[in-house]
Amino acid sequence: MNTLKDLFLDQLADMYDAERRIVKALPKMAGAATCDKLKKAILAHLKETKGHVTKLEQVFQSFDEKARGKTCEATVGLLEEGDALAAEFEGSPPINAALISAAQKVEHHEMAAYGCLHAWAGLLENNKAAGLLLEILKEEKAANETLTELALAGSNEEALGESDDKGSEKPSDKRLRNLRRGIRPVGLGRNRVGSVLN
């Protein structure tokens, strides 16, 4: 019969593989970013991610196990999707928003995985493992928050492709300009199709 420890070690191996894949993926992601702050944030998280690999090795050791990886299918898929997004939007206004989206999908997967691992380590009464996993979880949450801040600070607005040297145009400004041109926003008429065509 499989035990909680078996489940823990299985998922630990999954995340060990995930972190090593992410270490290889982050430099490419940083290279695709056109926003300096995003580039710096990705490279800072690369350094943290290398530390996560070391911490996971220490978690294995705390269970008297040799570090091993098991293909993390979720991370493989998320990184492939990120590569496709980066290629599709390369050189276009939404590139940084696309990269942030791809990175946050990975972060949310990691937060879920480390939340479970941390809880299980506690149930298995391995305080050292629980402490290391909590450190990783906190860093993943902080990385996700940084990405959200960057998105809200400009990358999402930049994705509209209508910013100039003075800064991004506010959505309300765009709406007013469109009204001056005679373009009626969808939803103002009784018939949505009619409001777009008329």
Per residue in 122-152, pLDDT tens? Answer: 999 999 999 999 999 999 999 999 999 998 8
What pLDDT, on a 0 to 100 scale, did the predictor assign at position 195? 29
Comparing C-alpha atoms, which of 170, 158, 52, 187 is closest to residue 114? 52
Q: Assign domain 4-161 to a CATH class.
A: mainly alpha
Residues 57, 114: Cα–Cα separation, whole Å? 14
pTM of the model: 0.79
What pLDDT, on a 0 to 100 scale, did the predictor assign at position 28? 94
**Segments making up each domain of the chain, as ranges:** 4-161, 165-198
* Crossing angle of helices 73-88 and 4-32, rounded to 10°: 10
Dmax of the chain from CA atoms? 72
Burial track 25-59 (b if 16+ CB lie within 10 A, e otherwise): bbeebbebbebeebbebbeebbebbeebbebbeeb
Range from 15-24, 43-52, 106-115, 187-196 carrying the lowest mean pLDDT: 187-196
Range from 42-46, 62-66, 149-153, 175-179 carrying the lowest mean pLDDT: 175-179
> What DSSP line would sit under the chain, residue for residue?
---HHHHHHHHHHHHHHHHHHHHHHHHHHHHH---HHHHHHHHHHHHHHHHHHHHHHHHHHHTT--------HHHHHHHHHHHHHHHHTTTSTTHHHHHHHHHHHHHHHHHHHHHHHHHHHHHTT-HHHHHHHHHHHHHHHHHHHHHHHHIIIIIHHHTTS--BTTBPPPHHHHHHHHHHHTPPPTTSSSSHHHHHH-
Q: Does the pLDDT at position 196 exceed 80?
A: no
Beta-carbon contacts of 194 under 8 Å, excluding residues fewer than 6 positions away, are: none
